[in-house]
Amino acid sequence: MELKVFEKRDDELKMEIRGEDDTLLNVLEHTLLEDGRVLNIEYNIQFPYMSDPMLYLRTDGTEPIGVLLDACERLLEECEEFKSKFEAASEKTK
């Protein structure tokens, strides 16, 4: 993964997330939408589908990278939760 920042202001961030696709971006977008500080979040993968996704984020004035980092933190927690709960549930059936 490689990040290329195109625009960065106090409340805006436009960057390309190279080498990633819908797998990460869709769930990231969804996590950011649950954040009250986010005013607008969208990403676009241009034709052809192998292109790198462009992420656009606008916040209410909070540092956008900080908001993204919080989203990453929540996603990591969710992954860990899935892993531990899944392990526990599959243990039970054995």
Partner 1 sequence: MKIEVLKLSDEKGRFLLRETSSAFVNAIRRSAMAEVPKMAVDYINVYDNTSSLYDEILASRIGLIPLTADLNSFILPEECECGGEGCPSCQVSLTLTAEGAKMVYSGDLFSMDPSIQPSFPDIPIVKLADGQRVMIEAVARLGTGKKHAKWQPAVACGYKNMPKITIKDCDKCGKCIDECPKQLLSLNKELKVKDLMECSLCGLCEKACALGAIEVGVEEDAFIFVVESDGSMPVVELMIRSAEELGKKVLELKEDLESIQKDAGVAEIGQRRRT
Residue among 17 and 38 whose Cβ is closer to partner 1: 17
* The one among 20, 43, 53, 59 contacting partner 1 by CB under 8 A: 20
Q: Site for partner 1 (CB under 8 A): how many residues? A: 39
Question: Do 18 and 6 contact (CB within 8 A), yes or no?
Answer: no
The pair phi, psi for residue 4, each rounded to 5°, is -125, 115
Interaction of residue 22 with partner 1, rule CB under 8 A: yes
Q: What share of the chain is helix, strand, coil (3-state, %, to 5)?
A: 45, 30, 25
Question: Do 8 and 1 contact (CB within 8 A), yes or no?
Answer: no
Q: Which of residues 28-57 bind partner 1 (CB under 8 A)?
A: 28-31
Tokens of 29: 């977008």
Name the residues that contact partner 1, by CB under 8 A: 1-3, 5, 8, 17, 20-24, 26-31, 65-66, 68-69, 72-73, 75-76, 78-83, 85-90, 92-93
